[in-house]
């Protein structure tokens, strides 16, 4: 089926004139549906990767719940211009939230948010503050939605114990004969795993509450307007029950990195403390009222955990022979692993400074 034919299965207004590939996600494929009629909106068509998201029905039910909740909150708060600030599922012509094509692919359509800008890196503290404020508000808006209403779109997604056991399995199987190339990376991972399991252990003990979390709070999952004010948080596939640490942590991983996620030169990679402070300030300014003391006290561990766990995931995929992430070249997962583990190491070295930054922002007005 052509993309045009697939697009015609949805209840869109106007006439779709042009279909353009859109965005750079590692998992789904996205297309911008440009409306030929100027008074009708554009749309975003996505093919859902159902090898990664095994239960598309559950996934779409989660997204429907979350987008409806957010829209209701925005309406109640008198937020203007909601169609640029919230995602909405555009149903199929027969009222479903997704379409399954004859080849077994799953498709869905959202409103397309016009005039947005995306960033792959935060070079500017004001941008880091604003992006963090957006993710924090997202968590806050969902704080009254019972996480028990949502299913796990990827079970164990941010469970480091599980990620470590997958790594162990791939090391034992060594299907691509790559273990010999990553001895140093494996030994760092093994030596730091204990510290990195802090949040996992707090969760097991019930010391931190389950919440509805986004779970993919990368800087490129916030759309900004041209004045660099946050518009909308996107990529809701991994919204599911979690801990606030997941959103804080993945934000720190992507907003504070002075290098790229897959920087060829790990020397470029470090955790920028000014950006850290801005990110933490934006996140706490929008969540301070809903978080408890233990959550705030332990956020610092999240900033280490996320680069570390991302490194573990890239390393596992490298050893497994690149079966999960889209890669641009054979060593891509290795390059990504090294960059992420470098960031985790740098985070470890700066942990006490980061703890003070968070403490100052969370517990006093001394900002």
Interface contacts to ligand GN1, rule CB under 6 A: 25-27, 52, 216, 218, 235, 238, 261, 310
Nearest to 214 by CA among 174, 249, 190, 187: 249
CB 294 to ligand GN1: min, Å: 25
Segment 323-326 long-range contacts (CB within 8 Å, at least 24 positions apart)? 324/52, 325/26, 326/26, 326/27
Q: How far apart are CA 269 and CA 340, in angstroms?
A: 8
Question: Cβ closer to ligand GN1: 35 or 340?
Answer: 340
Q: Which does 153 bind (CB under 5 to 8 A by kind): Mg ion, ligand GN1, none?
A: none
Q: Which is nearer to ligand GN1, 7 or 312 (CB)?
A: 312
H-only helix segments in the chain: 3-7, 56-76, 82-85, 125-141, 160-173, 183-196, 198-205, 244-255, 273-287, 293-320, 332-349, 351-363
Measured from the CB atom, is 218 or 350 closer to Mg ion? 218
Q: How far is the CB of 28 from Mg ion (least distance, A)?
A: 8
Residue closer to Mg ion, measured from CB, 26 or 169: 26
Smallest gap from residue 251 Cβ to ligand GN1 (A): 11
Distance of closest approach, residue 83 Cβ to Mg ion, in angstroms:
22
Q: How far apart are CA 30 and CA 232, in angstroms?
A: 17
The secondary element (H helix, E strand) that includes residue 220 is none
- Site mask for Mg ion (CB under 5 A), range 154-193, x = bound: ----------------------------------------
Pick one of ligand GN1, Mg ion, none as the site partner of residue 263 (Cβ within 5 to 8 A by kind): none
Work out what residue 277 binds among ligand GN1, Mg ion, none; the CB cut-off runs from 5 to 8 Å by kind: none
Shortest distance (Å) from residue 37 CB to Mg ion: 31
Closest separation between CB of residue 78 and ligand GN1, Å?
31
Identify which of residues 25 and 230 has a Cβ nearer to ligand GN1 in the complex.
Answer: 25
The one of Mg ion, ligand GN1, none whose footprint includes residue 26, by CB under 5 to 8 A per kind, is ligand GN1
Return the number of the residue (27 or 176) whose C-beta is nearest ligand GN1: 27
Which two structure tokens, joined as six digits, stand for 361?
């922002």
Tokens of 175: 């299907």
- Quick one: what does residue 52 bind among ligand GN1, Mg ion, none, with the CB cut-off 5 to 8 Å set by partner type? ligand GN1
- Which residues contact residue 81 at a Cβ distance below 8 angstroms, ignoring those fewer than 6 apart? none
Please report, for residues 213, 350, 358, the alpha-carbon distance to residue 156 in angstroms, rounded to integers and kept in the order given: 14, 28, 27
Q: Computed from CA positions of residues 278, 282, 283, 288, in that sequence, does the dihedral angle turn out positive or negative?
A: positive
193 CB-near residues (< 8 Å, 6+ apart): 160, 164
* Smaller CB separation from ligand GN1, 44 or 281: 44
Report in angstroms how near the CB of residue 326 gets to ligand GN1 at its nearest. Answer: 8
- Considering the complex, state which of residue 240 and residue 354 has its C-beta at the smaller distance from ligand GN1: 240
Q: Which residues of 217-253 are buried (b: 16+ CB within 10 A; e: fewer)?
A: bbbbbbbbbeeeebbbbbbbbbbbbbbbbbbbbbbbb
Alpha-carbon torsion, ordered 293, 296, 297, 302, to 10 deg:
150
Please state the closest distance from residue 218 (CB atom) to Mg ion, in A: 7
Rule CB under 5 A: which of 198-257 touch Mg ion?
216, 235
Task: Summarize as ranges the residues that interact with Mg ion (CB under 5 A).
Answer: 216, 235
């Amino acid at each position: 089926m052509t993309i045009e034919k697939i697009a015609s299965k949805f209840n869109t207004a106007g006439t779709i004139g042009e279909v353009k590939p859109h965005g750079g996600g590692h998992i789904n494929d996205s297309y911008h549906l440009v409306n030929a009629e100027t008074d009708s909106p554009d749309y975003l068509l996505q093919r859902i990767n159902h090898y990664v998201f095994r239960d598309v029905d559950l996934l779409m039910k989660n997204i429907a719940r979350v987008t409806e909740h957010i829209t209701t909150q925005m309406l109640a708060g008198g937020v203007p211009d909601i169609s640029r600030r919230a995602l909405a599922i555009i149903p199929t012509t027969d009222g479903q939230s997704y379409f399954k094509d004859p080849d077994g692919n799953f498709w869905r359509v959202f409103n397309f948010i016009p005039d947005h800008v995306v960033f792959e890196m935060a070079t500017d503290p004001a941008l880091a503050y604003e992006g963090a404020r957006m993710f924090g508000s997202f968590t806050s808006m969902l704080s009254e939605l019972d996480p028990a209403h949502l299913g796990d779109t990827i079970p164990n997604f941010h469970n480091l114990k599980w990620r470590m056991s997958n790594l162990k399995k791939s090391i034992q199987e060594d299907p691509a004969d790559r273990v010999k190339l990553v001895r140093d990376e494996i030994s760092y991972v093994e030596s730091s795993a204990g510290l990195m399991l802090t949040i996992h252990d707090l969760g097991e003990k019930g010391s931190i509450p389950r919440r509805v979390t986004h779970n993919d709070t990368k800087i490129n999952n916030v759309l900004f307007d041209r004045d660099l004010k946050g518009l909308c948080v996107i990529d809701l596939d991994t919204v599911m029950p979690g801990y606030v640490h997941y959103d804080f942590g993945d934000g720190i991983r992507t907003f504070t990195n002075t290098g790229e996620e897959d920087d060829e030169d790990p020397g470029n990679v470090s955790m920028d403390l000014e950006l850290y402070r801005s990110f933490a300030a934006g996140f706490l300014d929008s969540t301070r009222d809903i978080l408890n003391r233990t959550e705030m006290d332990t956020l610092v561990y999240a900033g280490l955990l996320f680069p570390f766990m991302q490194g573990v995931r890239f390393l596992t995929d490298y050893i497994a022979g690149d079966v999960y992430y889209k890669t641009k070249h054979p060593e891509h997962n290795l390059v990504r692993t090294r960059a992420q583990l470098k960031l985790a190491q740098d985070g470890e070295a700066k942990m006490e400074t980061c703890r003070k930054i968070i403490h100052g922002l969370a517990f006093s007005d001394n900002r």
